[in-house]
Structure 1
Amino acid sequence: MRLSFGRIGARLTALLPGRTDLAEIRRDPRRDLLAGLTVAIVALPLALGFGVSSGLGAEAGLATAVIAGALAAVFGGSNLQVSGPTGAMTVVLLPIVAEHGPSGVLTVGLMAGVMLVALALLRAGKYMQYMPAPVVEGFTLGIACVIGLQQIPNALGVPKPEGDRVLVVTWRALEAFTKNPNWTAVAFAVAVAAVMLVGARWRPMVPFSILAVIAATVIAQVAGLDAAKPIGALPSGLPAPSLAFLDVGALGSLLAPAGAVAALAALESLLSASVADGMTVGHKHDADRELFGQGLANIAAPLFGGVPATGAIARTAVNVRTGAGSRLAALTHAAILAVIVFAAAPLVSRIPLAALAGVLLATAVRMVEVGSLKAMAKATRSDALILVLTALATLALDLVYAVILGLMVAGTLALRAVAKQARLDQVPLDQGDHSAEEHALLAEHIVAYRIDGPLFFAAAHRFLLELAEVADVRVVILRMSRVTTIDATGALVLKDAVEKLNRRGIAVLTSGIRPSQRQVLDSVGALELLRLEGREYATTPEAIQGARSYLECAGFMPPHLAQMSRPISEETEETVG
């Protein structure tokens, strides 16, 4: 037990910030401060919008951006990552709000934070690299569609209809709009989205989102447009930390949603950190430290009324483009948002909801990388299928089921591709190695097969069917030096094939079994079967001699024929199997 606690302590120490982080902060603080200011300007409307979309209100989005943003910046594994509320997370949170209420969301965030810390301690960060690219692209496309559809009620200026399915809510919002249209809200949403999309192409470094929101707010206030419904009153500051929301009795029912939130936070945060790495030279994030930092951020954010947070790709990209070089930039972003919470809450409360909807509509459009989608669709049919299925599942089901479905389809197709590469080839006897009489007798009584690739469950039964078709011979030699791996199914199928051939009077000899594969074969009794018959050999020449002896003893081959040499036509394999 002491050793376990000692290991945990050592692991925690390794995950904490070190002197290197402090040295990087001191390197160019002016540049980091300017980058943090720019990111804060971009992040403000997003934090407000995602807070509203999550169902907990704009104040929850701001609290998340401040608390989670600061803690993830200090303890995370990337110098360039910016964290806060994201559109993907709001998609997961909506059904939780509908079923468990705001307190359920806060509890889920706390539980997810604990799970992320546990994943960091277990060094699970490295496993996120195995997420297939088509699943990520389909997941992102589906999220973009969901985020865009979530904004329809506010963009149309109608009350949000009841329902936990985004397609149903969107349809009901459209019905409400046809009965009582609000063109003012539509104009605000379309104008803000258009300014952001056009401005991003014209001047990428200019924060058009905040400029468009400010302009919309001023117009709504000066013109007295009651149809442009504002955010509403916001608290002038962060609430005191509290665990009053925690219902211990509900922890069991919230375990699955918490796992979904933790998985999404891990996936999106590490994906965002990888994007930051790709935009710079020489920067590499620490995946386990990133999980640890996100875990602490998600443990703390609910105490202040915040929603679960992740690394935000868009804000991180802005951070990198504006010259950030250390964690100070992300910390500055959180500090500026905190000042806004304390000093400018009355002004922020007047922002029209339709303007925020426009910000998120533009964000959804910019999430879709058309070039990446085209490349993925053209790569292979399997990749295109995985992408489309994941996107549709994200839109029709939920994010967790979408990722699970995408991974299952990707895994199945990958196994199918690997199984196709595995081959059972009959190796012909080389007539040049024997006299005509020897070759005729050998060809009559012996057939040799070489197994290439993995002998596992996805390919094993095909091997069994091919071996079952062997007829009119006395000896089968299985050359196994090119078998890359064997699982229990493959070993059982091999044993079954040997037994069936033996019952038909056909002797089976093997050669070249690798030491790493012997344990699997031994565990199902396949090696024991071969050993009892004396038919397991280290090399192919030995197996050939064994086959010759068997044929001579059985009376199928005259003993006076010359000893065979180089019986199988392979230059590189004669000595190994």
Structure 2
Amino acid sequence: MFSALRKSLVSGMKISEIQANVLAGLTVGVIALPLSMALAIASGVPPQHGLYTAIIAGIVIAIGGGSKVNISGPTAAFVVVLLPIVQKFGIGGLLVSGFMAGLILILMGIGKFGKLIEIVPYPVIIGFTAGIGVVIGTFQIKDFLGLDIESMDGDYLDKLLLIMNSLPTVDWQELLIGGLTITTLLLWPRIRSKIPGHLIALLLGSLTAWLLSQFSQDFSIATIGSRFHYELNGITGNGIPAILPSFEWPWNLPGADGTPIGLSFELIKLILPSAITIAILGALESLLCAVVADGMTGKKHNSNDELIGQGLGNIVAPLFGGIPATAAIARTAASIKAGSSSPLASVIHGLFILGAILALTPLLAYIPMASMAALLLVVAWNMSEPKHFVRTIKIAPRDDVIVLILCFLLTVLFDMTIAVAVGIGLASMLFIRKSITITSTTKVEKNHEDYGDLPDSVAIYDINGSLFFGSAQKALQAISTVTPNLRVVILDMTEVNMLDMSAIVAMESITESLSKQHIRLIISGLQQRMAAKLHRVGINNSREEVQFSKTVVDAINLANKML
């Protein structure tokens, strides 16, 4: 635990490095401020919960994790997972699921699951991230166009149909502000300014909306202040409360029916699948981000410590109103480019957002919902990486393309949990099929250049590849067919690199079959660790009909002595 912090403290930091990390923290804080609010809104909760997440999780994960430069907080990848939880269990259920996900992440770190990202096929990752981007982008159309839709219920196709049927209710005022914001977001990078484009876009959208409302009483659009309300000491306010996040057990918060959700074994059973999904997605996102950060900095993160740090952050954040968090690639990359080299940058980023809550909440209330939707549309587009998606389809092998498209469609039409499970399952099956095709057994010709003229009573079989449940029977079945005059069978297993229980059972069957026909078996070149597996089940030199040799030449000499 705390390996990133320990490494930073041991290596020491010069004044210039401290200054660079403070500047990087302020830079990424400016980026994270509106994004945290937008992602909380997209997840179905008030915007302050996104800010609380960036503060608490951003600081705790940076201190307790295994990456020096990861910036954690609410991310777009979580939106499609969190929104259904809020709709079904309310804010209380969401925070309880985040708390449980934190416990699971810690167990994953303790259990050395840090290599998790390596077992998830690349097409699966591309497929579900592109699918998430499409879902997020679709859900922002309502606020971007100002459509007259009371609630977005049902599955993806139901929501898409509802949006299409509501297109005649487009509000030109919302569209004007949303269009101005998204245009600024798209054009600002061409200026190559160090000021984050989304900050300028939101300022321009908010200022334009405010000015138009001053000049025309008919101009009225939804803002954070008009959409969200809070109650503090019996007084109702608009927008975001200018108070520090306070401690409260998440199960004391309201569920979908407005009453405290409580804590029970039944609730845990209902929420556990969601918590597992959050934990797996959080692990994948944080480790993927750490790998990207390593490539940018030339440093090496501790993957298991990073999982533990993510777990700590997701346990502490819900106690202060924070939603599930993980490392964000875009914010981490921006922090690195600004000079980040230690957890100090993430801590400063959290403190900056804390200061913004206390000082800027009256101004944040003026941000139009159409501008927030425009920001998320750009985030969704960047996340889906359409050019990379199309390129992968063009150049990837057919099996990988099938996995990619299937994961994409399942994420969009159903949910990410099904997509990842089916994607990994299908990729595994296709891998097994490929492994079966490359595992082979070939009978060596009589006049082999290395072994000379073999007698008819000796047969050599060259086995190549992995012998496991998918390939063992296919690879070894040829050996069961023998000629009447055969007396010795030599198995050249030099190129065998794996032997599972199915293969061991198949080897037992072959040994017994040859023994009944009074045919001796010599196993040649098998690695010691796999030979030991056969020895444990009785296929060893203690049996007269079975022998082991280091090379095929040794096996032939041994066979000649047996004849």
Q: So what's the TM-score if we normalise by structure 2? A: 0.87
Match of 1:554 in 2: none
Aligned residue runs from structure 1 range 12-27, under 5 A: 12=1, 17=6, 20=9, 23-24=12-13, 26-27=15-16
Tell me, what secondary structure is at the counterpart of 1:91?
helix
Aligned residue runs from structure 1 range 95-494, under 5 A: 95-158=84-147, 159=149, 161-163=151-153, 165-178=155-168, 180-203=169-192, 205-224=194-213, 226-232=219-225, 233=238, 234-243=240-249, 244-245=252-253, 247-249=262-264, 250-280=267-297, 282-370=298-386, 372-374=388-390, 376-377=392-393, 378-430=395-447, 439=453, 442-471=454-483, 473-475=485-487, 476-494=489-507
Moved more, 268-277 or 361-370: 361-370
Structure 1 residues 238 and 247: CA distance shift in structure 2, 3 A: same
Deviations 1:111-156 (A, max 9, x none): 1112222323333223433332222222221121121112122122
For residue 310 of structure 1, report the CA deviation from its aligned partner.
0.8
The structure with higher relative contact order (CA 8 Å, sep 6+) is 2
Deviations 1:383-415 (A, max 9, x none): 222222222222122222222222222222222
Aligned residue runs from structure 1 range 50-89, under 5 A: 50-89=39-78
CA distance in 1, matches of 2:447, 2:460: 12
Deviations 1:197-232 (A, max 9, x none): 232244263311111111111121221265521112
CA distance in 1, matches of 2:365, 2:373: 15
For residue 350 of structure 1, report the CA deviation from its aligned partner.
1.8
Does the 8 Å CA contact 2:146/2:175 hold for their aligned counterparts? yes
Deviations 1:475-502 (A, max 9, x none): 3322223322211111111222343455
Deviations 1:219-277 (A, max 9, x none): 21221265521112221123421112373202232222111111111111111122122
CA distance in 2, matches of 1:26, 1:122: 38
Please report the RMSD computed on the Cα atoms of aligned residues, expressed in angstroms: 2.7
Does residue 537 in structure 1 map to residue 548 in structure 2? Answer: yes
Deviations 1:315-373 (A, max 9, x none): 11111122223222222222221122112212111211111000000111112335543
Does residue 42 in structure 1 map to residue 31 in structure 2? Answer: yes
CA distance in 2, matches of 1:432, 1:270: 51
CA distance in 2, matches of 1:318, 1:447: 65
CA distance in 2, matches of 1:79, 1:13: 10
The letter for the 1-side match of 2:104 is M
Tell me, what secondary structure is at the counterpart of 2:543?
helix
Moved more, 24-33 or 446-455: 24-33
Tell me, what secondary structure is at the counterpart of 1:521?
helix
The letter for the 2-side match of 1:535 is V
For residue 523 of structure 1, report the CA deviation from its aligned partner.
4.5
Does the 8 Å CA contact 1:161/1:169 hold for their aligned counterparts? no
Does the 8 Å CA contact 1:80/1:319 hold for their aligned counterparts? yes
Tell me, what secondary structure is at the counterpart of 1:480?
strand
1:517 aligned residue (512, 530, 544): 530
Q: So what's the TM-score if we normalise by structure 1? A: 0.85
Structure 1 residues 31 and 145: CA distance shift in structure 2, 3 A: same
CA distance in 1, matches of 2:449, 2:67: 65
Does the 8 Å CA contact 2:57/2:317 hold for their aligned counterparts? yes
Does the 8 Å CA contact 2:68/2:341 hold for their aligned counterparts? yes
The letter for the 1-side match of 2:195 is V
CA distance in 2, matches of 1:132, 1:239: 39
Higher-Rg structure is: 1
Deviations 1:508-528 (A, max 9, x none): 443333321134324444x16
Does the 8 Å CA contact 1:455/1:487 hold for their aligned counterparts? yes
Does the 8 Å CA contact 2:136/2:376 hold for their aligned counterparts? yes
CA distance in 2, matches of 1:241, 1:306: 10
Deviations 1:97-123 (A, max 9, x none): 122111100101111112222323333
CA distance in 2, matches of 1:165, 1:194: 30
Identity fraction in percent: 34
Structure 1 residues 293 and 431: CA distance shift in structure 2, 3 A: closer
Structure 1 residues 70 and 395: CA distance shift in structure 2, 3 A: same
Structure 1 residues 156 and 477: CA distance shift in structure 2, 3 A: same
Match of 1:32 in 2: 21
CA distance in 1, matches of 2:2, 2:313: 18
